[in-house]
C-alpha cells in the first residue's frame, strides 16, 4: 500500500507562502483588536441590581400573612447540665447579689435647751431610784402587813390548847406598824399544867400549840430519862416571844418571825431539884445533861419548822430559837 505525500512536501515553495500569509493575517487581527480596546470606555454608572420579584410582597403591609414566608424560629439554648462542684474544672456559680439594706433612719435631733421648767412639772421630775434588794432594806422600806388569821382556825387552835391544859388568855390585836403585829394574839402563862412560862409569852396560838406538844411529847420524857434525880420541870424560861425587829436584831434584812408572833426563844429549864439546865453549846458534852439538850433540840423539828440551837451561829449561843413559819413544800430548817 502506498502512502500519500502531502502537497506541501511536493510543492515546498507553495507551502511556505501560505504560512506567511496566515501569520500576517493573525497579526493584523491582533493590532485591530488592540486599537478597538484602547478606544473603549466604561459607562459612568454601572447597572443597578434588580429587586427580587417577591421582595415587594414581603414588605407590603397589605399582603395577607398567610402568603408571607413565616420567620424562622429563634434558637432556644438547650439547658446545660448542673456543674459538679466536686470537679475542679467545673465553673462555680456565683450567688445572687445580696439586697442592699435600707438606709437607717436619721437619729432625731436633740431638743434645744431652754430655760428650766418650774418644779413639779412632769418633765422636770427625776426617775425613781432602783429598789434595794430585800437583804438591804430596812423594816420601814419593806412595806409589810400583818397576816390575817381565820376565826375558825383560831378557835380550833385554842380548843387544842385547852385540851392540853395550857394556861393562856386572848389579848387585843397588836399593830406596831411596818408589818409588826399579831392579828389574834394570846398571852401564855403556863406551857403545860404546872409548868410556868417566864416571863409570860405573847405569841400566836399555833406557836403556843407547838411549844406545848414539844414539851409534853419530847422534853418531859427526855428529862425524866436523863435527869430523874432532878425531879420534874417546873418552869421554862423564855428569852424572847413577840418583838418588832428584823432577824437577829439587824438594821436591814428579812423580818424576824418574832415580829409576827410565830417564834419563841427558850433559854433554860428549871427543875424541882438541882440546878437549871441552861441552853448552851453541848456538842461535845458527854454527860446526860448534854444528851438531854441534844435530844430535845433534835426533837424540836417534829413540831416547829425552824430550830436553831447554840451550834448554829453566834446569835443563838445561849438559847433555842423555835418558830412555825410556813415555807413552800413544807420545808423545815433544823440546826
Query: Once rounded to an integer, what is the mean pLDDT over residues 263-272?
Result: 98
Which of residues 51 and 314 earns the better pLDDT score? 314
- What CA–CA distance (Å, rounded) separates 155 from 241? 21
Residue 321, SS3 per DSSP: strand
Q: 91 or 282: whose pLDDT is higher?
A: 282
Average pLDDT, integer, range 25-43? 60
Give me the pLDDT at residue 49, please.
55
Minimum mean pLDDT range among 41-55, 105-119, 176-190: 105-119
pLDDT of residue 250: 87
Specify the pLDDT at position 132.
Answer: 77
- Give the lowest-confidence range in 87-101, 152-166, 246-260: 87-101
Distances (CA, A) of 153 to 124, 156, 193, 248, 253: 52, 5, 23, 30, 30
pLDDT (0 to 100) of residue 82: 52
Its sign, for the CA torsion 123, 124, 125, 126, is positive
pLDDT tier for residue 48 given thresholds of 50, 70 and 90: low
> Does pLDDT of 41 surpass 60?
no
What is the signed CA dihedral for 164, 165, 169, 175, rounded to 10 degrees?
Answer: -30
Asked if the model's pLDDT at residue 67 lies above 80, the reply is no
What is the C-alpha to C-alpha distance for residues 255 and 181, in angstroms, rounded to an integer? Answer: 12
Residue 123's pLDDT is 45
**33 against 4, higher pLDDT:** 33
* 1 vs 270, residue with greater confidence: 270
At how many degrees (to 10) do helices 151-164 and 205-214 cross?
Answer: 30
The predicted pLDDT at position 29 comes to 73
What is d(CA 193, CA 212) in angstroms, rounded to the nearest whole number?
A: 10
User: CA 236, CA 270: separation in Å to the nearest integer?
Assistant: 6
Least reliable range by pLDDT among 177-186, 206-215, 224-233, 246-255:
246-255
Residue 135: pLDDT band with limits 50, 70, 90 = confident
What local confidence, expressed as pLDDT, does residue 326 receive?
92
Residue 81 pLDDT > 60: no
With 0.85 as the threshold, say if the pTM is over it: no
Helix-, strand-, coil-residue percentages of the chain, each rounded to 5: 35, 20, 50
Across the range 269-291, mean pLDDT stands at: 95
* Residues contacting 179, CB < 8 A, separation 6+: 139, 142, 143, 144, 145, 146, 255, 259, 260
Separation of alpha carbons 212 and 218, rounded Å: 10
pLDDT band at 57 (very low <50, low <70, confident <90, very high): very low
70-79, 266-275, 312-321: which range is least confident on average?
70-79
pLDDT at 221 over 50: yes
Are the CB atoms for 263 and 323 separated by under 8 Å? yes
| The pLDDT of residue 18 | 59
Model confidence pLDDT, tens digit, residues 317-335 = 999 999 999 999 999 999 8
Q: Give the pLDDT mean for 198-219.
A: 98
**Spatial separation of the C-alpha atoms in residues 121 and 123, rounded to whole Å:** 6
Mean pLDDT, residues 228-251 taken together: 95
Amino acid at each position: 500500500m502506498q502512502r500519500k505525500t502531502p502537497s506541501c512536501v511536493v510543492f515546498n515553495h507553495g507551502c511556505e507562502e501560505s504560512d506567511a500569509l496566515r501569520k500576517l493575517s493573525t497579526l493584523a487581527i491582533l493590532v485591530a483588536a488592540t486599537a478597538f480596546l484602547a478606544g473603549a470606555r466604561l459607562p459612568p454608572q454601572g447597572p443597578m441590581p434588580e429587586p427580587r420579584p417577591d421582595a415587594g410582597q414581603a414588605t407590603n403591609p397589605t399582603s395577607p400573612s398567610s402568603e408571607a414566608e413565616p420567620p424562622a424560629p429563634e434558637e432556644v439554648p438547650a439547658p446545660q447540665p448542673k456543674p459538679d462542684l466536686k470537679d475542679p474544672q467545673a465553673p462555680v456559680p456565683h450567688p445572687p447579689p445580696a439586697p442592699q439594706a435600707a438606709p437607717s433612719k436619721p437619729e432625731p435631733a436633740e431638743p434645744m435647751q431652754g430655760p428650766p421648767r418650774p418644779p413639779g412639772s412632769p418633765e422636770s421630775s427625776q426617775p425613781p431610784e432602783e429598789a434595794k434588794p430585800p437583804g438591804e432594806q430596812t423594816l420601814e422600806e419593806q412595806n409589810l402587813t400583818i397576816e390575817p388569821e381565820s376565826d375558825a382556825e383560831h378557835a380550833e387552835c385554842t380548843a387544842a390548847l385547852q385540851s392540853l391544859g395550857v394556861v393562856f388568855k386572848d389579848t387585843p390585836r397588836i399593830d406596831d406598824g411596818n408589818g409588826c403585829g399579831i392579828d389574834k394574839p394570846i398571852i401564855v402563862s403556863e406551857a403545860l399544867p404546872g409548868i410556868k412560862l417566864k416571863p409570860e409569852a405573847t405569841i400566836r396560838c399555833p406557836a403556843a400549840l407547838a411549844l406545848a406538844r414539844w414539851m409534853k411529847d419530847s422534853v418531859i420524857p427526855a428529862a425524866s430519862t436523863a435527869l430523874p434525880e432532878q425531879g420534874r420541870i417546873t418552869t421554862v424560861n423564855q428569852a424572847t416571844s413577840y418583838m418588832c425587829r428584823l432577824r437577829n436584831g439587824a438594821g436591814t434584812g428579812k423580818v424576824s418571825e418574832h415580829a409576827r408572833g410565830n417564834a419563841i426563844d427558850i433559854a433554860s429549864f428549871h427543875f424541882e431539884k438541882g440546878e437549871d439546865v441552861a441552853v448552851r453549846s453541848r456538842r461535845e458534852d458527854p454527860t446526860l445533861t448534854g444528851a438531854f439538850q441534844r435530844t430535845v433540840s433534835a426533837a424540836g423539828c417534829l413540831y416547829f419548822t425552824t430550830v436553831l440551837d447554840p451550834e448554829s451561829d453566834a446569835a443563838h449561843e445561849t438559847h433555842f430559837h423555835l418558830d412555825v413559819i410556813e415555807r413552800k413544800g413544807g420545808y423545815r430548817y433544823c440546826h
